Amino acid sequence: MTYPEDPMDTTIVPPRLSAGLSLHPSGATHGGENTPVIDLADVAVWYGDYQAVRGVSMPVARNQITAMIGPSGCGKSTVLRSLNRMNDLIGGARVTGVVSYHGQDLYARDVDPIEVRRRIGMVFQKPNPFPKSIYDNVTYGLKVNKMDTGRTDDLVEQALRGAALWDEVKDKLKTSALALSGGQQQRLCIARTIAVRPEVILMDEPCSALDPIATGKIEDLMHELAASYTIVIVTHNMQQAARVSHRTAFFTAELDDAGVRHGRLVEFNDTGRIFTNPADKRTEDYITGRFG
């Protein structure tokens, strides 16, 4: 399978997340090919006193699919949720190190988490459509973000087409989203996410509740979406990571001297490298199934 090697070279104006002045001191150039959309520098995430994951440094490149793999409990979801401040919703959760988005520290005091989530959307492990109609699911984000001015029907169609769901639901937009199959529900969740035109889409094991056919559809969709969005996906399925992603981060969990388990990033590289020629023995053991 081939991938577009070069991310689209469009110069974009870096979005501002806070009311104050833009946070880049130099007004440095953004949107260049190599400038990551999101950059993690020595990130650690805590739940209360427990450091769940630490030492995570990696970039997320624009218009690429970045996969996070690793055994259960190594902190993949935790890191993913730190990218759009979903961890704010968990009492006691805390992030140290720097998560930057176009050079702006996402955890700076004057950053508005709602603005962050407008630009960095998320699709969850278990499809979680609202108990509303298909149409209302898609317009929800438009409404709360005041984007439903005028041609809402068109926006809904666009989003559903973008999620490869339009043909299946165009005749029943007003029926409950919960009547859809699991795979359709998940594509609806993708549709409502892209309806608000985020720059980045985070996906936490988006196919783990789906059968192989539905999974295949979502994987195809991810390829299409990568043309316009930057995607970070957590997956347990290594073939999936190999099939869809450009770059892969391998996490693991290890005991420290005091016997406490912490997750950490072991290796980050082009997906091809990770799966054919990993630098770290632990990565190799994991991808060849010799792990634990």
Partner 1 sequence: MTSTSQKVAGIPAAPSVRRGRPRLGEKAIEALLVLAAIVSVATTVGIVISLAVPTVEFFGTVSLGEFVTETLWTPLFAEKHYGVLPLLVATLIVTAIAVTIAIPVGLGSAIYLSEYAGNRTRAFLKPILEILAGIPTVVYGFFALLAVNPWLRDIWPSQTKPEFQNMLVAGIAMGLMIVPTVASLAEDAMTAVPRSLREGAYALASTKMQVSTRVVLPAALSGIVAAIVLGISRALGETMIVTIAAGLKTDGIIVNPIDGAATMTAYIAGAGQGDLPVDSLDYLTIFAVGSTLFLFTLALNALSIRMVRRFREVYE
And the tokens for 217? Answer: 């559809």
Is 47 near partner 1 (CB under 8 A)?
A: no
Stretch that binds Mg ion, among 21-29, 73-81, 133-141, 269-277 (CB under 5 A): 73-81
Q: Give the helix ranges, DSSP H, for the chain.
A: 76-82, 113-119, 134-144, 152-162, 166-169, 182-195, 212-225, 238-244, 271-276, 281-287
Is 62 near partner 1 (CB under 8 A)?
A: no
246 binds, among ligand ATP, partner 1, Mg ion, none (CB under 5 to 8 A by kind): none
From 63, 77, 104, 230, residue interacting with ligand ATP (rule: CB under 6 A): 77
And the tokens for 18? Answer: 């806070």
Rounded to a whole number of angstroms, the minimum distance from the CB of residue 56 to Mg ion is 15
And the tokens for 26? Answer: 């130099």
Q: Which of 248, 291, 243 is nearest to 267 (CA)?
A: 248
Is 192 near ligand ATP (CB under 6 A)?
A: no
Is 189 near partner 1 (CB under 8 A)?
A: yes
Stretch that binds partner 1, among 117-125, 164-172, 249-257, 266-274 (CB under 8 A): 117-125
Is 77 near Mg ion (CB under 5 A)?
A: yes
Minimum CB distance to partner 1 smaller for 136 or for 267: 136
Map residue 86 onto helix, strand or coil: helix
User: CA–CA separation, 154 vs 142, rounded Å?
Assistant: 12
Residue length of the chain: 292
Residue type, position 121, single letter: G
From 12, 41, 144, 279, residue interacting with partner 1 (rule: CB under 8 A): 144
Stretch that binds ligand ATP, among 73-81, 101-109, 127-135, 181-189 (CB under 6 A): 73-81
From 59, 75, 127, 198, residue interacting with ligand ATP (rule: CB under 6 A): 75
User: CA–CA separation, 116 vs 107, rounded Å?
Assistant: 10
Q: Which residues pair with 40 in a beta bridge?
A: 58, 99
Q: Is the Cβ–Cβ distance between 16 and 22 less than 8 Å?
A: yes
Rounded to a whole number of angstroms, the minimum distance from the CB of residue 88 to ligand ATP is 12
Minimum CB distance to partner 1 smaller for 21 or for 89: 89
Residue type, position 77, single letter: S
Minimum CB distance to ligand ATP smaller for 124 or for 166: 124
Query: Residues of 77-106 as b/e, b for ≥16 C-beta within 10 angstroms?
Result: bbbbbbbbbbbbeeeebbbebebbbbbbeb
Is 117 near partner 1 (CB under 8 A)?
A: yes
Q: Enumerate binding residues for partner 1 (CB under 8 A).
A: 84, 86, 89, 91, 114-115, 117-118, 121-122, 124, 126, 128-132, 140-141, 143-145, 176, 178, 189, 192-193, 196
Q: Enumerate binding residues for ligand ATP (CB under 6 A).
A: 47, 52, 72-78, 90, 236, 263
Q: Enumerate binding residues for Mg ion (CB under 5 A).
A: 77
